[in-house]
Chains A and B, each alone.
Chain A
């Protein structure tokens, strides 16, 4: 115990006494750890942005998209599809938030500038979390919206512009045309900029029955599709099982199931992270060489001191560990300072503006702990490695030559 404390005390004393030299040797390590940690953190955040943007379209990893059509009539009757999907989901015991339904289509909206056909996606409330849609105003669709006579809408900013408002403070509504016009309520705004207006509409609402009774749907809709969010490892197995199971539940229908999320996104991101890490390591190795260089010069200047310490009873092991620890204490402190500065830099940069075009991240990663830990571990490891050679030289010092009575 006292041995360890003594060694640490010795190492700290050395660092304290030779502040200028230590600081000089640590500039390289400090900059290297700062660069490595910052770049790794930015890489992690960029990867998150990449992943969220990819998942916004294709769904989270792994999303299985399922469609069915009737070879004779084209579409499977809605009731039959709904019953089949419910039976399938119940059989698989899937949680509600891992299952979404979508139907792409177009609907007529009566806007201040005139009636306009606008791309609309009818979705179940779980579609939002599954595609990481994070409204910039208002909220996403909820299960309770299905009870409302007025269908809930989440629109993009282009759509909001057509309504002649800039925010939701006026609780905007819009009439969706059709045989039986229905007044829809805009409950949220999502940042999605394809360059034209788009709306997400709740899959069903209390007013739908009236519209149907009045002679038809209030728009043109593609056959609905089902999205299932499953663990990556089970994606292939689930795809095959869904295809055959749903086909049995929908006699006469052709069922297609395929993976919708960008499958190679994970490996692309892994490669990106690897490249960033490799670059960081090269920079760190260069910093380590600087520490080693100054360590070598210094240990030769300290041969007499090492000899004196041996006369106090310092063992070879103690001399070795003291020299290594000097290096480790110094680089660990440099690493700590570099990580702190890196956190300050990364936290104060407008990253969402730069990386995601202002789209808020659903799971904003903050400063990755892994990058901070890696920075500290790397700095300490560099200190240990750079201290190794000077420590070996220190141990081989001949005490009687060093002291010269």
Chain B
């Protein structure tokens, strides 16, 4: 049984004129525990929608999405939110750290929604996680005083602090220079692997995509596996046009 299993997943969006725009169509994808998957695609290809669906932030309008074999379509709002917090960690392109909170408070923030011991030991867990991403000494700094690379490392620590089973990363290096991006991506892959979590990355950066064990291309809402670097390059060739 796969950790995540999408079968024929589609997502239509209702437009202001009441017509339906298909954003995703017939997406099939399985992800196993600890696996690293990358998805590349041009702007408007449906990458964000796919990540929203995977992270239980959005629901498909067609097909099925099984999480640990259980259909997510029948989940109520509360259960869905809880499952999201327990299962997924998110890394955003723009970091999305909570302003004016220290790095430690930011990393501890997801544990505010945990229960029992996890909740009460959240600050200690946050400090340990910051140590793991090499920012233990900057735990009390607010994001405004951290560099882009440091902010993304805080975001990585935050995404992993609840020991999620899947980390969803959207252009994790998109706002960083090449060198910093490579270091951050290597750290993300390493720490995720140490935690035994699956990592799903959306990226335009071929070197980032190449780090994944399995690579996919998303084009006009259709997901297709990519076998080699040429196909990967083709998938992102429109980047400069976009």
Contact = CB atoms under 8 A, between A and B. Distances in A.
Interface residues of B, number: 37
Nearest to A399: B57
Contacts of B78: 315-317
Contacts of B58: 400
Given A308-B98, A403-B92, A405-B51, A316 B77 contact: yes
B101 A2 contact: no
B216 interface: no
Contacts of A2: 114-116, 119-120
B89 to A, nearest CB: 9
B96 A304 contact: yes
A254 interface: no
A5 interface: yes
B82 interface: yes
Q: Could you tell me the dominant secondary structure of chain B's interface residues?
A: helix
Contacts of B93: 405
A238 B187 CA distance: 91
Contacts of B109: 309, 312
A313 interface: yes
B36 to A, nearest CB: 19
A404 B52 CA distance: 10
B52 A312 contact: no
A18 B100 CA distance: 9
A405 B92 contact: yes
Nearest to B94: A404
A326 to B, nearest CB: 14
B57 A311 contact: yes
Nearest to A315: B81
A10 B114 CA distance: 13
Contact of B57 (A18, A304, A310, A318): A310
A310 B98 CA distance: 13
B32 interface: no
B231 to A, nearest CB: 24
A312 B120 CA distance: 17
B100 A17 contact: yes
B101 A313 contact: no
B119 A6 contact: yes
Interface in A258-317: 304-305, 308-317
A13 B101 contact: yes
Contact of B52 (A309, A314, A405): A405
A312 B101 CA distance: 16
B116 A311 contact: no
B112 interface: yes
Nearest to B101: A17
Contacts of A310: 57, 81
A85 to B, nearest CB: 74
A405 B113 contact: no
B60 interface: no
Interface string A152-184: 000000000000000000000000000000000
B41 interface: no
Interface in B82-117: 82-86, 88, 90, 92-93, 96, 98-101, 105, 109-110, 112-116
Given A313-B84, A315-B77, A9 B202 contact: no
B170 interface: yes
A6 B113 contact: yes
Nearest to B120: A2
Given A13-B101, A313-B110, A400 B52 contact: yes
26 contacts: A2-B115, A2-B120, A3-B115, A6-B113, A17-B101, A308-B92, A308-B98, A310-B81, A311-B55, A311-B90, A312-B85, A313-B82, A314-B81, A314-B113, A315-B77, A315-B78, A316-B81, A318-B81, A400-B52, A400-B57, A400-B58, A403-B57, A403-B92, A405-B52, A405-B92, A405-B93
Closest 9 pairs between A and B when the two form their complex, measured CB to CB: A313-B85, A405-B48, A312-B110, A405-B170, A2-B119, A315-B81, A313-B113, A6-B112, A17-B100
Interface of A: 2-3, 5-6, 9-10, 13, 17-18, 304-305, 308-318, 399-400, 403-405
